[in-house]
Amino acid sequence: MMENKTALTIKIIKKVKPENYKKIMNYKGSLVDDGLLDSFDIMKICSEIETISKKKISPKKLKKLNFSNLDKIAKLI
């Protein structure tokens, strides 16, 4: 199941940040702290996740830490 979530996460990142997609895929630091994702990107990612999963993301999960790397974004799906 996690593989499917990872594939969906990659698809979402490619759609939301096509200009930084390759850099984000291999990035080892924090995507938010290091400026690869900003608050607008996070909102777009959340919207895509909600559209795909048909579930609302709880406001409690809208923390910077949950968007710091691809694995943590995949857990939101």
CA distances from 22 to 10, 19, 28, 32, 60 (A): 10, 8, 12, 16, 29
For 17, the domain range is 2-76
**How many domains does the chain divide into?**
1
Q: What is the pLDDT of residue 15?
A: 95
The pTM score is: 0.86
Q: What is the pLDDT of residue 52?
A: 86
2 has pLDDT over 60: no
CATH number at residue 16: 1.10.1200
**In the structure, what pLDDT confidence band is assigned to residue 77 with cuts at 50, 70 and 90?**
confident
18-48 pLDDT, tens digit each: 999 999 998 999 999 999 999 999 999 999 9
